[in-house]
A and B are shown apart, each in its own frame.
Chain A
Amino acid sequence: MPEIKVTPLGAGQDVGRSCILVSIAGKNVMLDCGMHMGYNDDRRFPDFSYITQNGRLTDFLDCVIISHFHLDHCGALPYFSEMVGYDGPIYMTHPTKAICPILLEDYRKITVDKKGETNFFTSQMIKDCMKKVVAVHLHQTVQVDDELEIKAYYAGHVLGAAMFQIKVGSESVVYTGDYNMTPDRHLGAAWIDKCRPDLLISESTYATTIRDSKRCRERDFLKKVHESVERGGKVLIPVFALGRAQELCILLETFWERMNLKAPIYFSMGLTEKANHYYKLFITWTNQKIRKTFVQRNMFEFKHIKAFDRAFADNPGPMVVFATPGMLHAGQSLQIFRKWAGNEKNMVIMPGYCVQGTVGHKILSGQRKLEMEGRQILEVKMQVEYMSFSAHADAKGIMQLIRQAEPRSVLLVHGEAKKMEFLKQKIEQEFHVNCYMPANGETTTLFTSPNIPVDISLGLLKRESAIGLVPDSKKPKLMHGTLIMKDNSFRLVSPEQALKELGLGEHQLRFTCRVHIQDPRKEHEMHLPDGSIMVESILIQATAQSEDQGTKVLLVSWTYQGPPHFVTAKSAILEE
């Protein structure tokens, strides 16, 4: 029985360190190669020794697929390819390939230069690793080898995020990566066709959440910013460099444009600027509005948003500043925050989740007095707002994707176990398909019944299909022919053809059956020497009985008057 095996090395009942091994029809594929943000030791990378203890990874893996550029999906890639050693192909989309090294480099800098870690991958390793990458387009079918093919679908989430279909023969697996089913200001919604995979591996970050319409959130956000700016206050928005930052920029930019506002918007330089460059380039990956209007004006060429300089923070008058990092734990955003915290006209908007212990988390939980380093007490008078802008599919979105793809079974990763449990139950209930949620290192095996394609000659097909009454029904149909299995290929040919090919002669089997008829009148019959009866004409009618397929009722009648005789015979299946 053919089977598909899935083993998560990371992201099994967990968020972070996405890395899933899939073996399908003898091919081994690794999906994503991420790091875990919560750990600084060996646990931050997936345990690649699980794959092989002493052999080379390249021999075991046919390919690696990276769904998008977030570090929890690609952070371990240089380590995996350069330090552990993998030389096979790595597939990712064009935007991911462009942006991924920037983030990896940034990650390396923070780990090595700031935290002073050794035994970490170097810049050169990132470059070498990227040389192994093969970029793919959306909906492009890439042949990894003769049998394995992969195809990318749009996933929303961040620029260049993709879902991948991995297909060997008629067996297929779809891996969603992270995706978003509701479009936002700069990206569209995930989409997949009815590809009916054997297995759908889906993220489930928001397995138990159904979100409100994003319009309310956007409106609230804009209203808050607008009011504050009108009051003459300064607005600080701490963001991470990529993803949400661009969405918020577009949001504010269009709003400024629409409302003819004049207050300046600033954006901290560095990483974000580089990334914006790529957003400008990969217009085809953005949403309908941006794609349609970029001929007139590229939406990422901001008119109102300018680069930020440290000195601007002290300028009088209203302004909006996007600053990194997003949790106010260090860097520019914290500096600005300290400057502005004292004025109640100012406002800080936290657009995402904050980890416990950071300044962001403290102010969000309502703390008004903060102890900074050097025993300073910072009194927070500015308004603190929280806005959740997240680009993962919610429970409804996940269900919608499952409905679109119509998989034969579902496997959940990238989420908390408790939440998955709920969604799993729902999926099984609504779609009547099996749903799995393996933990890290746990292998899920599912059996498939792949179709076996058989070639049939057109003549035979036409002849056989002409026999039936309605040629166009979708129902399975019985065909008569000879199946030839030869050199790994299957062919259905007509019996004559088969005989010819095999060089065999035709044998005819004749079944005779003696019928005893107790009848005194025998004038018209002639007994031949061998004991059989000769009648001028005889009618034999064979009809199949419905209860028993193997039994046929034969009606034998001839002109000679007398009661007809029913003869029941077990008919043999003839291979003529």
Chain B
Amino acid sequence: MAAHLKKRVYEEFTKVVQQQHEEISAKKLRLTKPSKSAALHVDLCKATSPADALQYLLQFARKPVEAESVEGVVRILLEHYYKENDASVRLKIASLLGLLSKTAGFSPDCIMDDAINTLQNEKSHQVLAQLLDTLLVIGMKHTENPAVRMRLLDVACKYLTDSSHGVRNKCLQLIGYLGSVEKGATKEAESLATKDVQKIIGDHFNDQDPRVRTAAIKAMLQLHERGLKLQQTIYSQACKLLSDDYEQVRSAAVQLIWVLSQLYPESIVPIPSSNEEIRLVDDAFGKICHMVSDGSWVVRVQAAKLLGSMQQVSSHFLEQTLDKKLMSDLRRKRTAHERAKELYSSGEFSSGRKWGDDAPKEEIDTGAVNLIESGACGAFVHGLEDEMYEVRIAAVEALCMLAQSSPSFAEKCLDFLVDMFNDEIEEVRLQSIHTMRKISNNITLREDQLDTVLAVLEDSSRDIREALHELLCCTNVSTKEGIHLALVELLKNLTKYPTDRESIWKCLKFLGCRHPTLVLPLVPELLSTHPFFDTPEPDMDDPAYIAVLVLIFNAAKTCPTMPALFSDHTFRHYAYLRDSLSHLVPPLRLPGRKLVSSPVSSSVTPHEDPSQQFLQQSLERVYNLQHLDPESTQELLEFTIRDLQRLGELQSELAGVADFSATYLRCQLLLIKALQEKLWNVAAPLYLKQNALASAAAKQIMEETYKMEFMYSGVENRQVVIIHHMRLQAKALQLIVTARTTRGVEPLFGMCENFLQEVDSFQRGFISELPHMQDSFVDKLLDLMPRLVTSKPSEAVKILQTTLRQSTFLHLPLPEQIHRATSTIIEPAGESDNPLRFTSGLVVALDVDATLEHVQDPQSTVKVQVLYPDGQAQLIHPKPADFRNPGPGRHRLITQVYLSHTAWTEPCQIEVRLLLAYNSSRSKASTSLSKSTWIDSMEALPPSEYGIEGTIPFSKPVKVYIMPKPARRALV
């Protein structure tokens, strides 16, 4: 019987699907195809003047064309093309042909012949260029078809001799994109085919038009990108192009040289005007270095950037980049860096007070001075001193990349990076601090360098200071004076900018960890202990004192002799800080005290697996128990949810998974509860008031499903289906509840219709996942679809209700990595008792500083909400520039929120919180909606008809005390 039923159901199911498909395609066809080409034809025939025709074509281009009708349209266009005398109209037609052949699902090889034919009779160079462009588009669609490629290539080669630069440009582009990459494969295609593409392009390196030269180099680069190994012979040609008159040529040539240097780093090239030879990569490096002092800043940026990625260059050349021989009156002078180093090594205190401290020393042999070096000399010295900050940033970046691969270079470039800390542009300063942090593993700061670094701590920009703290976290300091200096400067920073507290403490924590032996001799001085006298106990709440203690305790972790130097109150303070600031103070093995047991740090690794197992087991348990009686199911769910939540709190790495599954279970629980309501058994008119629970449950499930879908990063399609399924159930529930509570049938019609559409789109969106969902709500619903469609709303609701009750609980597969988006508002802190006063009607700016974790694309999703006491809510979209990205998965929002209100009599609190905006059209369900790349007018279309927008609050609200004062009246 069951088998029979199944079969029947299956038959019906397939039928339904087929019908639907037919319907959909039929609709589209009827809507567009006939109208499109026919209308165009009529329009073009009507056009009396070229201007008219152009107008029609422009209008036509605004609307997309379906793949099926493209060919017809193309035919019409071509027909007009042959008739048309005006070049501008032909140009537009040619460009339309290109656009049309881009249409997804349309195979443009049928129009290729026509396009090539039109080329032959064309006189206008512009139209020619446009037609070649169209051919390029066609060619791009058939890159794997060698015959098409050969054909197009022949065309391109033929038109290469055209006198117009535009045509030659396009030809070169065509060759670059379509030129055969694999040499062996073309052998069978005769001599005609084995044209050496590189040779053809190379011949145009000295074309008379700079645009063509650029296009030639670009085409060559394109070939390289497509996997063709460029010949080494191009190198000398490319070198010549470096001295071209036009910046775009030079810029492209620099790129080409870089590519070649990566391809043939080890081959040997001769140095002109001498019989020496050097490695190609070194030669190229020298040449690119030379371009760092080019006349055009675009080229300089390009060159500086590329330098960073030339890691194979020999260290001798690399170190030259930082070299600049100073001289004064032909006598050798030492650089300030050298002087600083010398002072440091001689142990003398830096005087720098004498005039002529930098007096030149020995005479220089005039013949030996080379003022314009052919090599890499001083490239970075120039780059870092450049006028444009873009060049300086590029140079700093390059320096960073090179230093990461070469420790000795890192050591050498330190002085220069430190110098950059004083650049006039903040971005450059920031960039150089970050760079320094990245290479800090390779370096140890000298005291005088540290001094300069620390001087920047007084910078008024918070970003700079925080970057510097991060840098100090991972710096190696060589002496105990250095540590002391750093501490003193950090404390100074603390008094000047008390808001930096957390960041300074963290910095000192790492500083202590890294240099226990250097901290040790400083301890008595820092704690101001005295061998004979007791010193007064410092104030425990003083942030500066806490900072000192953080440094010492962290150093003491690996230095067992240190606690012997502590005085009594230090131990007490330790106990206090260990509890209050446990993330900064490590557990210590103190004499006379047991090691404070800390389960987290002592046994992290063995714990991990059991908790993971526990999570899995409890979830398994829930999913397995399908046929328990409702009460015990509810109970089990409640327990499991509780367990999961607790687990999430304990194990931060599992928090995402635990929360995610707990939310899902909660939805299920709500659903079960709602269905268990007695109200279903009562006659309809009686439970008008009692339906609160069920509809509230439906609403809550909806909310929770949105949270699940949009607040977690790492959710995959498998989960999305289940989430959507749950939402569908909630919608069904809502429908049932409304059906029961409303009188009259009219509103139900609409709702039923909507619901069925919902089911339909679900089915379309997740058709691939349906097989995994047997026995689920949707599965059953789809079986019953024909009945639902035909039946009356009241009946449909009944069917729904039974299906909903009978459907089983779907197993939620857990994704690999899942993280919940969280945010904390650091500022405003919500502690202030002083209201923010401002004149009503005017605005006041409130600084908001928040950290966001695991938020994807925060620029478009994170909003700030301000709730006024009168219930008025304001939504603020922060600027994209307000988001910073300090690390992977972490974001920081520093923005200003403008508040305004009419006058109040009392100061009152407003709430500020962060919201996560979502838009279901962005979700994976609708990615199948392919955006056609017709033309830019597509932007005008509405985003999507069934996109649901909403927001999820994801931070704790912070209260801010404000007081809009009434505006003072003008003097009477």
A contact residues vs B (CB 8 Å cutoff): 182-183, 185, 188-189, 191-194, 208-220, 222-224, 226, 254, 257-260, 287-289, 350, 364-366, 383-386, 395-396, 399-400, 403-404, 419, 422, 425-426, 430, 462, 470-474
Contact = CB atoms under 8 A, between A and B. Distances in A.
A212 B326 contact: yes
Nearest to A388: B358
Nearest to A462: B163
A471 B163 contact: yes
Nearest to A383: B353
Interface residues of B, number: 55
Given A208-B330, A218-B422, A259 B460 contact: yes
20 contacts: A182-B385, A183-B386, A194-B295, A210-B328, A212-B335, A215-B419, A222-B422, A254-B424, A287-B387, A365-B355, A384-B355, A386-B355, A386-B356, A396-B372, A400-B293, A426-B369, A462-B163, A470-B203, A471-B161, A472-B208
B389 interface: yes
B381 A213 contact: yes
B245 interface: yes
B207 interface: yes
A473 B206 contact: yes
A430 B371 CA distance: 8
Contact of A403 (B369, B372, B384, B424): B372
Given A223-B455, A399-B371, 10 more contacts: A210-B324, A210-B326, A213-B385, A215-B420, A217-B336, A219-B452, A288-B389, A400-B293, A430-B372, A472-B208
Given A471-B161, A472-B212, A208 B329 contact: yes
A2 B389 CA distance: 45
B328 A396 contact: no
B387 A183 contact: yes
Given A193-B295, A258-B461, A399-B372, A209 B366 contact: no
Identify the interface centre among B295, B358, B461: most chain A CB within 10 Å of its CB: B295
A258 B385 contact: no
Contact of B330 (A185, A350, A422, A462): A422
B327 A210 contact: yes
B873 interface: no
B371 A426 contact: yes
Nearest to A255: B422
A158 B204 CA distance: 44
B336 A474 contact: no
A192 B294 CA distance: 11
SS class of chain B's interface: helix, strand, loop or mixed? loop
B458 interface: yes
A415 B571 CA distance: 72
B596 interface: no
Contacts of B366: 422, 425
A472 B423 CA distance: 47
B389 A289 contact: yes
B496 interface: yes
B385 A210 contact: no
B373 to A, nearest CB: 9
A289 B387 CA distance: 9
A242 to B, nearest CB: 21
A518 B241 CA distance: 61
Contacts of A182: 385
A473 B424 CA distance: 47
Contacts of A194: 245, 295
Interface in B383-433: 384-389, 416, 419-420, 422-425
B385 A183 contact: yes
Contacts of A400: 293, 372
Contacts of B151: none
Contacts of B460: 257-260
Nearest to A465: B163
B325 A210 contact: yes
Interface of B: 161, 163, 168, 203-204, 206-209, 212, 245, 293, 295, 324-330, 333, 335-337, 352-356, 358, 366, 369, 371-372, 381, 384-389, 416, 419-420, 422-425, 452, 455, 458-461, 496
B336 A220 contact: yes
B352 to A, nearest CB: 7
A419 B330 CA distance: 8
B381 A185 contact: no
Contacts of A386: 355-356
A260 B464 CA distance: 14
A385 B353 CA distance: 6
- The 10 A-B residue pairs whose C-beta atoms are closest, nearest first, are A216-B336, A183-B387, A215-B419, A386-B355, A259-B458, A364-B355, A208-B330, A399-B371, A189-B387, A399-B372
A214 B385 contact: yes
Contact of A258 (B203, B353, B459): B459
Contacts of B388: 288
Contact of A209 (B163, B327, B385, B389): B327
Given A194-B295, A220-B336, A220-B352, A213 B419 contact: yes
A419 B161 contact: no
A484 to B, nearest CB: 26
A406 B336 CA distance: 33
A181 B797 CA distance: 83
A238 B381 CA distance: 30
Contact of B387 (A188, A222, A223, A399): A188
A178 to B, nearest CB: 17
Contacts of B337: 216
Nearest to B212: A472
Nearest to B369: A426
Nearest to B204: A472
Nearest to B358: A212
B458 A216 contact: no
B658 to A, nearest CB: 46
Contacts of A419: 329-330
Contacts of B336: 212-213, 216-217, 220
Nearest to A214: B385
Contacts of A213: 324, 335-336, 381, 384-385, 416, 419
A138 B212 CA distance: 30
Contacts of B389: 288-289
A289 B209 CA distance: 35
Nearest to A385: B353
Contacts of A385: 352-353, 355
A211 B419 contact: no
B344 to A, nearest CB: 15
A474 B213 CA distance: 12
Given A260-B460, A383-B353, A474 B369 contact: no
Nearest to A251: B424
B382 to A, nearest CB: 9
B426 to A, nearest CB: 9
A472 B209 contact: yes
Nearest to B373: A396
B387 A474 contact: no
Nearest to A395: B371
Contacts of A422: 330, 366
A208 B326 CA distance: 10
A462 B164 CA distance: 12
B425 A289 contact: yes
Nearest to A208: B330
Contacts of B420: 215
A396 B387 contact: no
A192 to B, nearest CB: 8
A183 B424 CA distance: 12
Contacts of B422: 215, 218-219, 222
Contacts of A218: 422
Identify the interface centre among A211, A219, A472: most chain B CB within 10 Å of its CB: A472
B328 A209 contact: yes
